[in-house]
Amino acid sequence: MAEKLERSLGLASTVSLVVGGIIGSAIFMKPALMASQLGSPWLLLSVWILAGFITFLGALTNAEAAAMMPETGGQYIFFQKMFGDFTAFLYGWSAFAVFNTAGAASIAYVFSIYTEYFIHLPRLPKETEQLFYIYMPGIGKIFPLENIGVKSMTIVLIWLLTIVNYRSTHSGDRVQILFSALKVGAMVFLVLGIFIFGHGSVSHFAQSSPHSGWTLVLAIVAATSGAFWGYDGWNNITFMAGEIKNPQRNLAMGLLLGLLIVIAIYFLLNLAYIYALPIDVIASSSFVGSDAASSAFGFGAGALIALMVMISTFGATNGNILATARVTFAMAQEKKFFAVIGEVHPKYRTPGKALLLHGAWTSMLILSGSFDMLTDMLVFASWLFYTLGAVGVMVLRKKMPNAERPYKTWGYPFVPVAFISIASLFLVITLYNDITNYLNGTSPLINSLFGLALTAMGIPLYFYFKQKGGLTSKVQSP
């Protein structure tokens, strides 16, 4: 019998993993672009709330499956029960090849970018960066040598935190609680500093949007797509369900409480930004957090915000590394991936080899792309499976009507249907925009298709493991 991981994580750990896994760098990078798209302070605040509400609908829906099946592997286990081995395997493979590893890579990438505020990282001449590239037909070009100093620093951070989690889940958990508390504390300090010591004005809230009609709708959709990235990673906690104490209570409670905390923090930070700066200044700012902090703290605010972003992204990177390797580990334990990856470390009692595999592949993704490529690729792939997961909850209601459900989706079936409809619209618009940007020459890659191509690479692997006899489990009630 395959060894199981210890249930050692309580409610505080669960909430910290949700908060730490979500809050990274988006809240410091996306408001400027969103302000330029919307042109209205109230719309900017509303879109962050809207994106949080939609994400909350997804959490309300997926928490039902998480409470039903509190096992290490999260959505991989859910998809097995919902749709069978093929869909579950493609999810697990995509989690490894695309969105889990790219998620850790993109957040760590931002840590390295802000490291340059204090230390200059080397970069090759532009001609040298462009000299070597990999061309993928129908998708575009990849430049591994581009921004090599930042990429190298990112890889160092990935391996540092991989080793911490390799040696001890408890150590990774303590790091996560510490940095989640630090990042929340730093953001509360920034908000209070801007309102108490800043020289902002409530008149900044008076500006109305220049858009109307269909143009306004498109602006809201585009800005909401950006905010979705800020909320991505909300379901990472389900990957560690097999290590949570009293999972039927703590998993759903931790997911919902953690997401509510994030929504509140995002709203308050944007409220502070708007109080400190007019909407047009926010829209033109390349570092809105620093500009807003300058109004409160004056000289040195840039360093303060850079440090805050580094604390935030360090904790978020650790949260992603701690949680996401569990999916690959669960697949391997069921003989649906390379069996050696499913071994529990004999001394540290961690999924050590799964962590090392994720560290190696994450390093490859870092070398392959830029920050924008990684985020666009992972958001599309992850929301594709978020949508499928919500469909699956409805499938299980039909397939397993008598199964025990410690938590039932509030507002069923309206909440899942609303989430599925909105998420599907988001996917269509994202794919359309990616193809348009590639054809216009504004992007070297069709990022959505790159993520789908990596996902499709799992199809031959599925048949390989099926032939070996690993993909023969029957769907049973949990």
pLDDT digits (tens, 9 = 90+) for 7-38: 667 788 788 778 876 877 778 778 888 898 88
Q: Of all helices (H) and strands (E), which one includes residue 475?
A: none
Q: CA 253, CA 255: separation in Å to the nearest integer?
A: 6
- The vertex-286 CA angle with 284 and 290, nearest 5°, equals 110
Domain 11-382+425-468 belongs to what architecture? Up-down Bundle (1.20)
Q: Walk along the chain (478 residues) in steps of 10 and give the mean pLDDT of each run.
A: 62 80 76 87 92 87 79 76 90 86 85 84 81 68 79 93 81 65 79 83 80 77 81 72 72 83 91 90 79 74 78 79 80 84 83 91 85 75 89 92 83 91 86 78 75 89 81 44
474 alpha-carbon distance from chain centroid: 31
Which residues make beta-bridge pairs with 240? 72
Could you tell me the end-to-end alpha-carbon distance of the chain, in angstroms, rounded to an integer?
18
pLDDT at 86: 92
Q: CA 110, CA 107: separation in Å to the nearest integer?
A: 5
Identity at 459, one-letter amino acid code: I
Q: CA 381, CA 19: separation in Å to the nearest integer?
A: 21
Q: Of all helices (H) and strands (E), which one includes residue 134?
A: strand 134-136
Residue whose entry in the numeric block shows the structure tokens 């994450």: 362
Identity at 436, one-letter amino acid code: T
Identity at 355, one-letter amino acid code: L
pLDDT at 476: 40
